[in-house]
Amino acid sequence: MKAAVLKSIGQPFTVEDVPDPVIGPDEVLVATRTCGICRTDLHIQDGLAYVPNLPHIPGHEPAGVIADVGRDVTGYTIGQRVVPHLFISGGDCRFTRAGQHAQATHLQGIIGVTLPGGFAEFFKAPAENLLRLPENVPFDVGGLTSCAVITAVHAYRKSGLQLGQSAVVLGAGGIGLMLIQLLRQAGVRTIAVSRSPDSLRLAEQAGAELALSVEDANTAGCIREFAGAGKDGADCIFEMVGRAGTMRAAADYACRGGRIIVIGEEDEYPEIDTIQIAQRELEIIGSRNGGRQDAIDALEMLAVGIIKPHIAASFALDEINEAMSLVRNGEARGRVIVNVTSE
């Protein structure tokens, strides 16, 4: 099969012929139609946060059609449209029992991140990791379930936000825009903060009531005024960027007792002083991907239109390095998709 392969850290991908995946008795072979690109793909290429064994086939937002099923697989047949839940949780533990599959103690791998993924004509997954893609959800949008959409759904659930409360989405990229759509539907008053005027425009279209530049000195003051109700900031800040400076901004934007949900991952240390965390009783909460139920609910939210992902651009598999450059330059407004095979 044709695949995009990372052969050494810091190098472009090589598109070449590699052997097809071999499925075990509990696994399913999927013919990839599309696969989204995420910032984690940049991190893998750069050797940050995740270092898979090389050569590696990345791609963790795939969608496709079942091409073969292992002998012990029930409930799936060739031709069905599917997307994966990425975390192969590897058996029973307190976290998987609680539905927190992304925290599994015996994690065996993450499809496309530590295991071969969807920048290839075929990928494989355990049958228990697959979800049926509803007919009314196109492949390119459905593939985003496994990272961008599930991450937005899980982060929202971690926030505990209530009807009428206020939130700041700091970083209005692909996941941030979906989170804004979700928050609007949930009756949360939402402010988008970003560096890019184009992203702020899209954030307003997605449902943000205010769209502010992270570089504007008045941004924290505008957020306090917007929050109202005697609060000195927003109830919750979704930190989609994960840099030292954006964590500092998140602390300035949050109200006393407010929550900061950390979703963005960078190799940096937050510039929040502990006096502020202690005296203002800030809560800092990490959020990673989501569990199987979050994935099922994320697909449902796509099917009924609560979340409508914005696709910025599509590329052929042979153009993977151009597609990666667009994500790396921060020029893509929304998600960048690789079209792997057609019908």
Q: Is 338 in the site for Zn ion (CB under 5 A)?
A: no
x/- letters, 40..79, toward Zn ion (CB under 5 A): x---------------------------------------
Do residues 44 and 36 touch, judged by C-beta distance below 8 A? no
Q: Cis before residue 55, ω within 30 degrees of 0?
A: yes
Task: Closer to Zn ion by CB, 132 or 288: give it.
Answer: 288
Q: What is the largest CA-CA distance in the chain?
A: 62
Q: How far is the CB of 59 from Zn ion (least distance, A)?
A: 10
Binding of Zn ion by 337 (CB under 5 A): no
Would you say how long the chain is, in residues? Answer: 343
Q: Answer for the pair 335, 144: CB distance below 8 angstroms, yes or no.
A: yes
Q: Sheet containing 283-286: which strands, arranged edge to edge?
A: 210-213, 189-194, 166-170, 234-239, 254-262, 283-286
Cβ of residue 147: shortest distance to Zn ion, in angstroms?
Answer: 3
CB of 160 to Zn ion, least distance (A): 24
- Minimum CB separation of residue 281 from Zn ion in Å reads 32
Is residue 100 a contact point for Zn ion (CB under 5 A)? no
Residue closer to Zn ion by CB (options 29, 148) is 148
CA 83, 85, 86 angle in degrees (round to 5)? 115
Answer for the pair 125, 26: CB distance below 8 angstroms, yes or no: no
> Quick one: which segment of 99-107, 145-153, 197-205, 263-271 binds Zn ion (CB under 5 A)?
145-153
Q: Which residues within the stretch 175-214 sit at the binding site for Zn ion (CB under 5 A)? A: none
The count of chain residues that interact with Zn ion, using the rule CB under 5 A, is: 3
* Shortest reach from residue 61's CB to Zn ion, in Å: 7
Q: Does 149 bind Zn ion (CB under 5 A)?
A: no
Instruction: Please work out, in degrees rounded to the nearest 5, the angle formed at the alpha carbon of residue 305 by the alpha carbons of 302 and 308.
Output: 70
Enter the DSSP assignment of 109. Answer: E
Q: Is 39 helix (H, G, I), strand (E, B) or coil?
A: helix
Pick from 35, 131, 147, 182 the residue near Zn ion by CB under 5 A. 147
Nearest CB to Zn ion, comparing residues 150 and 254: 150
Is 260 in a helix, a strand, or coil? strand
Site for Zn ion in 5-44 (CB under 5 A): 38, 40
Residues that bind Zn ion (CB under 5 A): 38, 40, 147
